[in-house]
Structure 1
Amino acid sequence: MCSYLHRAPNGVYYFRMGIPADLRPFMAGKREIKRSLGLKDREAAKALIPDMTKTAHALLKQAERDKAASIPAPVIAPKPASQIERERRQWEYDQEQTDHAADANFTADMEAEALGPIIDALAEGIEPDASPAEIARAARRLIVDEREKAGLDRDALLASVVARYNKVARASGSENQAVEYPDHGRGIYLDTDILDGWAAERKPSPRGKDAYWRDAKLFNSMMGRKSVELITKADVMAYKRKLIADSARSQVNVRDRLAYLRTLLEWAAQEDIVPVNVARDVKIAVTERGEKRKDFSTDDLNALFAGPVHAKGERPKGGYGEAVYWMPLLALFMGARREEIGQLRVQDVRREAYIDDDDKRQEVWCIDITDTPDDDALPNQIKNEASNRLVPLHPKLIELGFIKYVNKLPDQTGRVFPGLKAVGIGKKLTDKVGQWFSRYKRDCGIEDNAKVFHSFRHTWKTHAVDAGIPERVCRQFQGHEGKDAADKYGAAPSMRVMVAAIASYRVPGLVIPKP
C-alpha cells in the first residue's frame, strides 16, 4: 500500500502527506501537503512518490527551522489520539462519499446530455421525435431552466437598480442612505469562487460548467446567497424540500440538483474551505425508471439501409450532407460514439504501420479519435482519457468508399463532415443529426423509442462478442475504461490484434446497398 497516494474522483492521483499540528502555523495553516501527480495510471503515479516524499520532507524540515527561529514559538496543544483517529475515519468516509458523488454526477451528466437535443427542439418550437416520457422530462427541465433564468434576470435587474441608487446617493452626499447588501462570512460563494476553483481542477465541458453554475444560482435564489462556510445542513434539507414541492421537477431532477450541490461542497471541504460537506447525506431515493437502450435487430438495420438515404442517395434539407450516410455505418462497424464520429477531421483518417503474424510490415487505414487541439476554433470533445484511441477501419467501410469520400473532400485540413454545425452550450456537432435520425428511423418503420442512434454502440458490442473479440479489445474500440485494477496493467492491444479483431466483426444477414 502506498500511503501517500490518493485517487481523486476524476481519476487523477495525488500525493498527500499530513503536516504535524505544530508545524501548520509555519506552512500557511495547511493540514497537509497536496500535489497533483497529473497521472491516472496507479503504477506510474507510485513511481513518483519517492521524489515527492523527499520534496515534502524538505518542506517539513524548513517549517521546523522556521519554528525554531520564531520568537516566541506558537503553542499548539497536541491532539489526543482519539481525535486523530476520529479525523482519520472522517477522512476515509469523505473519500468514499466523494466517489459516490462522482458516480451520481456522471449519471446526471449522461441524462442531461441525452435530453439536450429534445430540450433544444422544444425551445425552438419543434416537435421532438422521442418517447412521451422523454418529452415530459425534457419539458419539465425546460420549464425549470426558464424559471431559473427568469430568477437570474430578476436578480441582475435588482442589483443594477441598487447600484444605480447607491451611485445617486453618493453623488448627493447621502452615503448613509445607500442600500447595501450585508457582507457576512468570508465572502466565498458557490456560484463564483467554489465553482471556478472546482472547474479549474476538474475541467468540465462548457455545458457541464454551465449546469453547475445554474444549480449554484438556483440554491442561492431559494436559500439566499451566503458565504459557503455559513451554509448549514438545515439549509440543504430546506432546499431539498423546496425542490420536491415543485411539481415541475421529477425525482431525477431533484436527485441531480442535490448531486451537483454535493459535488461543489465536497470540493470546498477537500480544499479546507469548509470543515465538512453538509450536503453529504442529503439525497433522494429515485423510483422513476427510464427506458433501457436496445440493440438494432438485423431486420431494423436492413430497413434503415434500405431507406432513401442509403438506397436512393437522398439527403435531408438540414444541410448535414454526407454525415447522414456515413455516421450510421461508422457507428455500426466501429462502435464509436456519435460525437466522436461527427467531429472527425481529415487528418484523423490515416494509415498506420504494423507488423503482421508473418513478421511482415503492413499498413492499415485507421481513425484517430482524440481531443488533440489544432487551429480549429472548435476543439474535439471526448468523454474521458480512455476515449483517446487509434483504431483500424472495418474493411466494409473501405469497400463502401469511405476513404475515397475523405480523399475527395475539398478542404483537406477541415472536418470529415463539414456540413455539421456546433449548437447549444456544449457546442455539439451532432445534436441535430441525432434529432434527424430519431425521425428518420421511424420513417423506416422502427417505432421502438428505446432504439436510438446510441443503439449502434450496443449493437456493435453484441456482434463483437458473438465474433469472439476479447473484452479488452472491445473496450479499446469503444473507448471504455477498464473495470478493475487489473485492467490498468499492460499496454493497449497491438494494432496487429486490433486489425484481426475488426476483420472478424460481422452482422449476419445485413444487406447494405452499394452507393
Structure 2
Amino acid sequence: MEKVTPLTLTQLNQRCTNFLDYLTKQNVSLSAKAANTYRDHLIETGLSAKTVKEYIAANKQFFDYCERIELIEKNVFKAIKAPKTRGTKASQQRDRWQLKEIKRLLSSSEFRKKDAQFQWTTKLQIYQGCRPSEVCQLTTHNIQMIDGVPCISISDSEAGQRLKTTNAFRIVPLHSQLIKGGFLEYVQERREQKQKQLFNYKPHGENKDWSFRYRTNLGKLQTAIGMKPNARPTAYSFRHTFIDELKIADIPEHVVAEIVGHAHPNITYGRYGKQAQIQQLHDAVNKFPCLEVNDA
C-alpha cells in the first residue's frame, strides 16, 4: 500500500469541504440531486474535466466511507459520473507548453538573468520530463554514471525526499543538451563545495512542498515575459510536453512510462542494469528536441 502524503490529505479535505460549503451556500440538504447539481456547478466554473473528475472522486471516496460507518444511509455520489470531453483525448485536454513557448522562455533576457539553480531546475523538467518536486529535491548523489552513461536517479533514499508513487523510482539517462550545456560541471561544482543538495530548495509548509519556491519564481518570470496568469501552462506542464513529444516521435508507450515514472501494464521486465536498456532509454530521451538557440 502506497503512503498517503500530507498533500493528498489536504487535497481530499479541500475537495470535500468545497462540496459541503456549496450545500451551505445553496441552503440545500445532502442528496443525490444536490451532488448532481454540484457537478454541474463545477463544470460551469470553467474547471477542466480532469479537475472536476478529481473533485467527484474525492467526495465519492469520502461519502463511501461515511456509508460504511453508517453515518449516512447512501453514498450520494455513487451514481455521479465525471464529465467527458467528446472527441478530445486526455493528452489534448491537459495544459502543455508549446515548443515555441519554451524557446521563448529559454531565450528571454529574464530567464538568462536567473541564477544557475533556477535555469538547471527548469531545463531538467523540460529535457527529462521530471516532476518539479523530483528535480527540486535532487542531491548530488542522484547524478550517477551507469554503464558509462550519465543518469539521474529519481528516488527517496535521502532524508526528506519523497516520491509521488512507487512507479516514480527510476533511473533516466541525461539528455545530451544538458550535458552539452554544462550540467555535469554544475554538479561537480556542488560536490566540490561539499553541498549535499543539488539545489538550495527546502520543503515548504505542512505539505513539505519542495517545488513551492521554484513554481512561485517561474510564475513571476512568466508574467514578466507576457504570459498571463490563468491562461498559461505551469511547471507541471513541462512534463506534459515532454511526454507528448516522445509519443509524437513514436517512442513505445512502455519506454515513455519508464522514463517519466508512470505505471504501465505492459512493463514485465526488471529495472535497468543492462546496457541495452540504458541505451534504449538514452536514445528515447534524446528524441526530445533541442530548444535552445544562441546560448550565452
TM score, norm. by length of structure 2: 0.73
1:263 maps to 2:64: no
Verify the 8 A CA contact 2:56 2:82 in the aligned structure 1: no
Verify the 8 A CA contact 2:52 2:83 in the aligned structure 1: no
- The code of the aligned residue for 1:259 comes to A
1:431 maps to 2:216: no
2:153 match: secondary structure: strand
In the TM superposition, residue 417 of structure 1 has moved relative to its aligned partner by 0.9
1:366 maps to 2:145: no
In the TM superposition, residue 344 of structure 1 has moved relative to its aligned partner by 0.8
- The code of the aligned residue for 2:276 comes to R
- The code of the aligned residue for 1:294 comes to R
Which residue of 170, 173, 179 maps to 1:389? 170
Q: Deviations over 1:304-345 (max 9, x none)?
A: 22222554xx22xxxxx5332112211222111111111111
Task: Give the direction of change, closer, same or farther, for the CA distance of 1:399–1:215 in structure 2 (3 Å limit).
Answer: closer
Q: Distance in 1 between matches of 2:224 and 2:125?
A: 20
Which residue of 326, 336, 346 maps to 2:140? 346
Task: Give the direction of change, closer, same or farther, for the CA distance of 1:365–1:277 in structure 2 (3 Å limit).
Answer: farther
1:498 counterpart residue number: 278
Mapping of residues 195-210 of structure 1, within 5 Å: 203-210=3-10
- The code of the aligned residue for 2:76 comes to A
2:152 match: secondary structure: strand
- The code of the aligned residue for 1:324 comes to F
1:212 maps to 2:38: no
Verify the 8 A CA contact 1:254 1:284 in the aligned structure 2: no
1:306 maps to 2:103: no
1:408 counterpart residue number: 189
In the TM superposition, residue 244 of structure 1 has moved relative to its aligned partner by 8.0
Q: Distance in 1 between matches of 2:95 and 2:17?
A: 33
Mapping of residues 147-166 of structure 1, within 5 Å: none
Verify the 8 A CA contact 1:219 1:239 in the aligned structure 2: no
In the TM superposition, residue 455 of structure 1 has moved relative to its aligned partner by 3.2
- The code of the aligned residue for 1:460 comes to F
Q: Deviations over 1:400-437 (max 9, x none)?
A: 1112112212664532111x233344221223322332
Verify the 8 A CA contact 2:129 2:239 in the aligned structure 1: yes
Q: Give percent identity, aligned residues only.
A: 19
In the TM superposition, residue 347 of structure 1 has moved relative to its aligned partner by 1.4
Q: Distance in 2 between matches of 1:255 and 1:462?
A: 22
Which gives a bigger RCO, structure 1 or 2 (Cα 8 Å, sep 6+)?
2
Work out the number of aligned pairs and report it. 278
TM score, norm. by length of structure 1: 0.45
- The code of the aligned residue for 1:293 comes to D
1:478 maps to 2:257: no
Q: Deviations over 1:425-467 (max 9, x none)?
A: 4221223322332342354455693433333223323443454
1:460 counterpart residue number: 242
1:366 match: secondary structure: strand
Task: Give the direction of change, closer, same or farther, for the CA distance of 1:459–1:348 in structure 2 (3 Å limit).
Answer: same
1:351 match: secondary structure: strand
Q: Deviations over 1:261-313 (max 9, x none)?
A: 321343466xx64497533525376589997413422x3333222222554xx
Q: Distance in 1 between matches of 2:211 and 2:39?
A: 34
Verify the 8 A CA contact 1:294 1:458 in the aligned structure 2: yes
Q: RMSD between aligned alpha carbons?
A: 4.1
Verify the 8 A CA contact 2:22 2:38 in the aligned structure 1: no
Verify the 8 A CA contact 1:423 1:431 in the aligned structure 2: yes
1:281 maps to 2:281: no
Mapping of residues 107-122 of structure 1, within 5 Å: none
Q: Deviations over 1:188-218 (max 9, x none)?
A: xxxxxxxxxxxxxx63221221343456677
Q: Distance in 1 between matches of 2:248 and 2:117?
A: 28
Task: Give the direction of change, closer, same or farther, for the CA distance of 1:284–1:506 in structure 2 (3 Å limit).
Answer: closer
1:451 counterpart residue number: 233
Task: Give the direction of change, closer, same or farther, for the CA distance of 1:396–1:213 in structure 2 (3 Å limit).
Answer: closer
Verify the 8 A CA contact 1:305 1:513 in the aligned structure 2: no
1:451 match: secondary structure: coil
Task: Give the direction of change, closer, same or farther, for the CA distance of 1:509–1:296 in structure 2 (3 Å limit).
Answer: same
Task: Give the direction of change, closer, same or farther, for the CA distance of 1:513–1:276 in structure 2 (3 Å limit).
Answer: farther
- The code of the aligned residue for 1:452 comes to T
Q: Deviations over 1:10-57 (max 9, x none)?
A: xx5xxxxxxxxxxxxxxxxxxxxxxxxxxxxxxxxxxxxxxxxxxxxx
2:95 counterpart residue number: 293
Task: Give the direction of change, closer, same or farther, for the CA distance of 1:286–1:497 in structure 2 (3 Å limit).
Answer: closer
Q: Distance in 2 between matches of 1:433 and 1:423?
A: 11
Task: Give the direction of change, closer, same or farther, for the CA distance of 1:405–1:261 in structure 2 (3 Å limit).
Answer: same
Q: Distance in 1 between matches of 2:131 and 2:250?
A: 22
- The code of the aligned residue for 2:156 comes to D
Structure 1 portions without partners, runs of 5+: 1-11, 13-201, 225-233, 316-320, 354-362
2:269 match: secondary structure: coil
1:170 counterpart residue number: none
Verify the 8 A CA contact 2:144 2:150 in the aligned structure 1: yes
- The code of the aligned residue for 1:301 comes to I
- The code of the aligned residue for 2:141 comes to Q
In the TM superposition, residue 506 of structure 1 has moved relative to its aligned partner by 4.4
Q: Distance in 2 between matches of 1:254 and 1:365?
A: 40
